[in-house]
Structure 1
Amino acid sequence: MQKGNIGVTTENIFPVIKKFLYSDHEIFLRELVSNAVDATQKLKTFASMGEFKGELGDLTVHVSVDNDRIIVSDRGIGLTAEEIDKYINQIAFSGANDFLEKYKNDANAIIGHFGLGFYSAFMVAKKVEIITKSYKDDAKAVKWTCDGSPEFTIEEVEKADRGSDIILYIDDDCKEFLDHNRIQSLLKKYCRFLPVPIAFGKKKEWKDGKEVETAEDNVINDTCPLWTRKPSELKDEDYKKFYGELYPMADEPLFWIHLNVDYPFHLTGVLYFPKVKSNIELNKNKIQLYCNQVYVTDSVEGIVPDFLTLLHGVLDSPDIPLNVSRSYLQSDSNVKKISTYITKKVADRLQSIFKNDRKQYEEKWNDLKIFIDYGMLTQEDFYERAKDFALLTDTDGKCYTYEEYKTLIKDNQTDKDDNLIYLYANNKEEQYAYIEAAKNKGYNVLLMDGQLDIAVVGMLEQKLEKSRFMRVDSDTVDNLIVKKDQAKDAIVEGDKQEALSAIFKSQLPKVEKAEFNIMAQYMGENSAPVMITQSEYMRRMKEMANIQAGMSFYGEMPDMFNLVLNADHALIKRILDDENQTCAAQVAPVQQQMDETNARLGELKKKQEGKKDEEIPTAEKDEVSELDKKWQELKQQKENIFANYAAGNKVVRQLIDLALLQNGMLKGEALNNFVKRSIELI
């Protein structure tokens, strides 16, 4: 029997392993099973090269749980006593302190960097034994034992077959790993697609009302997963079936991309476009990363561009080692190349579907839209590729590329400054009247109701030359696209404007977090009598405040609306005529006093022109102040006359309420009053 100390420059490696790797200690199983698979694969290689002439036989790796032990057994190349000494006993560290400092927060990096896969066993075991026999002729079986101190023993033993058994005596604080279901789930997680069969116990079946073991191995992995096969061998059903295995509860995918690259890096995999639910965040981290069919992580930010973390599927690359750490991903040139390549492949695939089967592409556009919009917003090079197959959809459900849409609207939707005006709605039902008004003008209206569309609108205004986006309810239909040849000035003369403004303002109900500016315009007798519009700029700032940090100032401001009165409409004309007959006698003397006050103010201000403040007599200053005050009082008096008239005119309040109702702003008591008044008027 040989005894010795493991060659490490730290006094004791095991507390280091326990301490620094504890956060991720379940990976011990991945490491031991991967080592067993490597040993098996090496034997197959030696056999194919003629260096091993014996029978390969059954190469299944067996994992078993037995009382307080976990055993991993393979029939691979095995180890001689010399190889144990070389590979197990000599852990060559250079500078123990540097090592500890550098890797203290990164469990995977320690294992991957230092080939410490086997030593991860000591994260969960108080004692480890290796019973191994080399494939070489006349090799003797040996047993290596270590109890978690640097001391080990090696002795010769009897072992009939080649290969290695790794026996872990599980520590008291890690008994969870003796649970059959726990091991089953870890094997499913890490070893599900390893290229050598992995058996965990025996298959079970129901017999006489109870579950009994059969003689057949319970193989937990698929040794030849879909992404390792040639696309030419696979049918659509194969891809859908594999997707169903990866995501049992998911809807069928839209379509997929099979990746297979040999140069300048190795990468295989299948990426699926899932049917997307509304919340982006919920669907991230569904891509599984493998290294030679060994599971590494499902946190692939950095390997795939951010917008493609919404995709599902599998990536496998031996060029991304098992020690995937953030710093590694940020600095590794292969990872950057892989990210660029995947972006290109996704863009090429989308372009080809668009070109070859546009009908199918348009049918799936609503599901695809979020990927493509997110990609264009977050990645400049993707916008350049995607602008040819990104679509705009109008309110009739027709789809156009950016170029096609520009051609469609160029003649009719160009304003007097040569800007192309893209009209859009974000709610087809709520903005129905505005959409219809625009269509009646011969305009086309886009439907922009996606969760990223407010940001897309901003992006397209920057990208598309001389183009502006206007929501259909941001102004009256005549003012949405201002052209040179507008028939007549839409501004209503002063006294009518003033009367209408005072009448309608007095009857506006309180709407929470909203302020109204009232204006009258000539809009044609067939247009609505009253409309509510909202400034594109202010509304967009508020919408952006909801999705962008640092803009909360806009989010706190009230919504600013315009209540636009159509002075051409019969109902508004009738109100004006009625007001004139009812209020003229009361308004005239007040107006006369206002005119006289204004005239006297004008005289005084002319007299004071060019004088310094101290040169103006106090009596004059006092008179100006008194006149200002008097004018304000008269103005209020005049507005009160209009308000009293309006209070008795049910049509005024009815028109206001109809406009509010059309915009979903009539609620509670105001809505109840509207219903009662409607019944009375009928």
Structure 2
Amino acid sequence: MSRYLNVCQLSSKILRTGSLRHGAMCSPILKAHNRSLQTLSTVSYPKTGSHLPVSCAQHHYSTETKAASSDNAEKHEFQAETRMLLDIVAKSLYSDKEVFIRELISNASDALEKLRYTQLSEVMPFPTDQDHGKLEIRLSTDKQNRTLTIQDSGIGMTKEELISNLGTIARSGSKAFMTQLSEKNVDVSTIIGQFGVGFYSAFMVADKVEVYTKSHKPDSVGYIWTSDGSGSYEISEFPSAERGTKIVIHLKSDCREFADDQTVLNVIRKYSNFVNSPIFVNDEQTNKIQPLWVLEPKSVKPEEHIEFYRYISNSNDQPRFVLHYRAEAPLSIKSVLYFPETKPGLFEMSRETEVGVSLYTRRVLIKSKTDNILPKWLRFVKGVVDSEDIPLNLSRELLQNSPLINKLRNVLTSRILKFLQDRSKRDTENYLLFYKDYSHFIKEGIVTTQDLNEKEEIAKLLRYESSELEEGNLTTLPEYIEKLAEGQKDIYYLCAPSRTLALSSPYLEALRTRKVPVLFCYEPHDELILLQLRSFQNFNLTSVEKEMRSMDKEEDETGKILGPDSLPTGERDELVSWIQETMKNKVHQVKITSKLDAHPCVVTIEEMGAARHFLKTQSQNLNEEQRFSLLQPRLEINPKHPIIKKLASLSKSNPALAELVVQQLFSNAMVVAGLVEDPRTILGNINQLLTLALEKH
């Protein structure tokens, strides 16, 4: 009695906390019920035997339960623990009632697979008369009587197996069968069952469940098993039963939709469309599309991939690339992944969009479009991943939090990256078309991925124009490194809206003079991507603005600029001091530079890219003084430029005009640096300069 109370308390706690829905119940519940976890009984089969063909005809059972004599029915009570567990399974284990169809079809599929495997080792030959149906699963609906029938022509059950398998929850006959065959090194990849609870999902929707069955063994007797799930079940002989199992589900009044054939068809197509046996609903086959991922890649034709891609993606386009990937180590993986041909829409670009890959185990859908097995940035990939090693919870609806899931995710991500890298080399033209449409996702991967090695692998997929290449030609980071001059430790890049603006940038001048290649980044987010990446293969990713800010290599120890065309030392020092005083509210420092030629000055900031991003996203509530205080811009002037030379003399002869000029020079430099949100703010200063210029004419 005390054990019964303990079980009740434990079951009640689980129902209150809802932990059962998250897979937490499996271990504590089963440990509490020793009878339910006794060593699985096994059926011994001879080690040798020839493959004997099974020639079968369709099953026909009477649906009239009166055919079974109630006089000789044996009544059995569920064990106390089993009664409590049955209540949990029926009410709390599964999140959606429709999955009972998936569970019962999986059981039927296992029964057929067991029969196939048994042919290899059974000593006695199977009957080959026409009284035995084909190896198939048949469902029939009856709206009037509110029933759903699921029937297979599989291995069937004896009376003892009925009591053992249906009288005890969490005893998986399929798992015991798999253990047997695995010990003989037989492939059991098509056996689905693991936990021994799937059958009881029928009680989520049923007032009563009837099971008609007859074992495949010679001279077996047919039986009917009946229960309403309340605490007991009855077993009696049913002489007219044929080999296999038929389950008649008498539906509850609020579950009558499962007596509708269209509802049943939709559930099958969602979960069970790829089981290993044909499935018929009211005599019409529903699973006609092959599960391509279980086939040898070389045996699948391109048109089959197109058909399958359109089926799983619910689209009319074609896959641009196909990755048909199989592996046995470190995990068992069978997958087929598609890269769409169509450019993604705005909704698909959103991170709220679901990942397009569905997770299967042994051909049965576990989770549609799951985000557990691929990173979010790969959400544009469509396809199927099937793995027998996936750790599931008892309801087969949730993935257990396991290192195996992370390993599966890492293996698939690595394989996709390798595939795309290879495709970019072998099929460059198509890859560049793909990159044009999907580069947003690749760049997102660099920002969101935490693993540094994975970041670098993603970065190999990036493509940029370069100052050394003709317009329209793209290069990669590895290709850039291959052409580096000896001693160069940086990969330089310049962000600009277009190639024209990039080539005219003052920040590019010095590097072009030294013939150092610079990558051109035209997308607004490219700068943040490269800031996040920081380095590639031990080479720093450095913006040309940051290079401009570094110490001038032509400056000697006394700070004098070498070159005959520059301002004399005294005039230069006076001009620097005057600008510093005049612009003290905006400029943090004024400096002479020799890195400019065609431009009079530039503005440099410690982290220009971060500054631009800050101004765009977070500076709305700051006034001008606060912005310049945060930016701390440095104004670097070119002492060789005619404007700067004239400004030096103008600062003495006409300070008012000189102040307008230096204000405009600073504003121009801020615009070039991309640090002015609205250029209209500098129009007032321009108009004053024009007024003064026109006064002399």
TM-score (ref. length: structure 1):
0.69
Deviation at 1:258, TM superposition (A): 1.4
Deviation at 1:29, TM superposition (A): 1.5
Partner of 1:34: 106
**1:230-379 pair list within 5 angstroms:** 230-249=296-315, 252-262=318-328, 265-274=331-340, 279=349, 281-298=351-368, 303=373, 311-320=381-390, 322-323=392-393, 328-332=400-404, 338-339=408-409, 341-343=411-413, 345-366=415-436, 367=438, 370-371=441-442, 374=445, 377-379=449-451
Q: 1:532 is paired with a residue of what secondary structure? A: strand
Partners of 1:444 and 1:387 in 2: CA distance: 18
Q: What residue identity is the alignment partner of 1:220?
A: T
Partners of 1:180 and 1:369 in 2: CA distance: 43
Q: What residue identity is the alignment partner of 1:267?
A: I
Q: 1:114 is paired with a residue of what secondary structure? A: coil
Moved more, 266-275 or 520-529: 520-529
Deviation at 1:543, TM superposition (A): 6.8
Q: Deviations over 1:106-136 (max 9, x none)?
A: xxxxx97631110111122222122334444
Q: Does 1:497 align with 2:572?
A: no
Deviation at 1:165, TM superposition (A): 2.5
Q: Deviations over 1:601-658 (max 9, x none)?
A: xxxxxxxxxxxxxxxxxxxxxxxxxxxxxxxxxxxxxxxxx5x5567x5x55554554
Partner of 1:76: 154
Deviation at 1:317, TM superposition (A): 2.1
Partner of 2:479: 404
- Do the aligned partners of 1:146 and 1:153 also contact (CA within 8 Å) in 2? yes
- Do the aligned partners of 1:194 and 1:223 also contact (CA within 8 Å) in 2? no
Partners of 1:453 and 1:64 in 2: CA distance: 61
Q: Deviations over 1:89-108 (max 9, x none)?
A: 233689xxxxxxxxxxxxxx
Deviation at 1:73, TM superposition (A): 2.3
Partners of 1:93 and 1:237 in 2: CA distance: 43
Moved more, 357-366 or 255-264: 357-366
Q: Does 1:117 align with 2:188?
A: no
Partners of 1:40 and 1:307 in 2: CA distance: 40
Partners of 2:628 and 2:359 in 1: CA distance: 43
Deviation at 1:166, TM superposition (A): 1.7
- Do the aligned partners of 1:63 and 1:73 also contact (CA within 8 Å) in 2? yes
Partner of 1:192: 273
Q: Deviations over 1:42-98 (max 9, x none)?
A: 33444566545345654442334433333222233333433322211233689xxxx
- Do the aligned partners of 1:657 and 1:674 also contact (CA within 8 Å) in 2? no
Partner of 1:517: 588
Q: Does 1:579 align with 2:651?
A: yes
**1:67-216 pair list within 5 angstroms:** 67=143, 68-91=146-169, 114-157=195-238, 159=240, 161-175=242-256, 177-178=258-259, 181-201=262-282
Deviation at 1:190, TM superposition (A): 0.5
Partners of 1:268 and 1:544 in 2: CA distance: 48
- Do the aligned partners of 2:83 and 2:230 also contact (CA within 8 Å) in 1? no
Q: Is there any run of 5+ residues in structure 2 with no aligned partner, and where?
A: 1-72, 173-191, 619-625
- Do the aligned partners of 2:445 and 2:455 also contact (CA within 8 Å) in 1? no
Partners of 1:126 and 1:555 in 2: CA distance: 72
- Do the aligned partners of 2:392 and 2:399 also contact (CA within 8 Å) in 1? no
- Do the aligned partners of 2:158 and 2:215 also contact (CA within 8 Å) in 1? yes
Q: Compared with structure 1, are the counterparts of its residues 472 and 279 closer, same or farther at alpha carbon in structure 2 (3 Å cutoff)?
A: farther
Deviation at 1:257, TM superposition (A): 2.0
- Do the aligned partners of 1:530 and 1:659 also contact (CA within 8 Å) in 2? yes
Q: Is there any run of 5+ residues in structure 1 with no aligned partner, and where?
A: 95-110, 202-216, 507-514, 548-553, 583-641
1:665 to 676, 679, 689: 676
Deviation at 1:410, TM superposition (A): 2.0
| Bigger helix share | 1
Partner of 1:444: 517
Q: Which has the larger radius of gyration?
A: 1
Q: 2:388 is paired with a residue of what secondary structure? A: coil
Q: 2:169 is paired with a residue of what secondary structure? A: coil
Q: Deviations over 1:471-497 (max 9, x none)?
A: 234464xx5685458962899733212
Q: 1:53 is paired with a residue of what secondary structure? A: coil
Q: 2:95 is paired with a residue of what secondary structure? A: helix
Q: 1:519 is paired with a residue of what secondary structure? A: strand
Q: Compared with structure 1, are the counterparts of its residues 534 and 340 closer, same or farther at alpha carbon in structure 2 (3 Å cutoff)?
A: closer
Q: Compared with structure 1, are the counterparts of its residues 61 and 679 closer, same or farther at alpha carbon in structure 2 (3 Å cutoff)?
A: farther
Q: 2:412 is paired with a residue of what secondary structure? A: helix
Partners of 2:288 and 2:223 in 1: CA distance: 32
Q: What residue identity is the alignment partner of 2:97?
A: H
Q: Deviations over 1:123-166 (max 9, x none)?
A: 22222122334444554443222112111122344656543332
Q: Deviations over 1:441-499 (max 9, x none)?
A: 233221344857635545453x544x4333234464xx568545896289973321232
Q: What residue identity is the alignment partner of 2:212?
A: I
TM-score (ref. length: structure 2):
0.67
Deviation at 1:579, TM superposition (A): 3.2
Q: Compared with structure 1, are the counterparts of its residues 318 and 403 closer, same or farther at alpha carbon in structure 2 (3 Å cutoff)?
A: closer
Q: Compared with structure 1, are the counterparts of its residues 431 and 23 closer, same or farther at alpha carbon in structure 2 (3 Å cutoff)?
A: same
Deviation at 1:255, TM superposition (A): 1.9
Q: Compared with structure 1, are the counterparts of its residues 561 and 51 closer, same or farther at alpha carbon in structure 2 (3 Å cutoff)?
A: farther
Q: 1:35 is paired with a residue of what secondary structure? A: helix
Partners of 1:342 and 1:186 in 2: CA distance: 28
Partners of 1:250 and 1:557 in 2: CA distance: 56
Deviation at 1:668, TM superposition (A): 7.6
Deviation at 1:252, TM superposition (A): 4.4
- Do the aligned partners of 2:150 and 2:248 also contact (CA within 8 Å) in 1? yes
Partners of 1:572 and 1:368 in 2: CA distance: 43
- Do the aligned partners of 2:102 and 2:272 also contact (CA within 8 Å) in 1? yes
**How many residues are aligned here?**
564
Q: What residue identity is the alignment partner of 1:189?
A: K
Q: State, as a whole percentage, how many aligned pairs show the same letter.
A: 26
Partners of 1:194 and 1:90 in 2: CA distance: 26
- Do the aligned partners of 1:132 and 1:164 also contact (CA within 8 Å) in 2? yes
- Do the aligned partners of 2:391 and 2:402 also contact (CA within 8 Å) in 1? no
Partners of 1:260 and 1:269 in 2: CA distance: 6
- Do the aligned partners of 1:474 and 1:480 also contact (CA within 8 Å) in 2? yes
RMSD across aligned C-alpha pairs, in angstroms? Answer: 4.5
Deviation at 1:222, TM superposition (A): 3.6
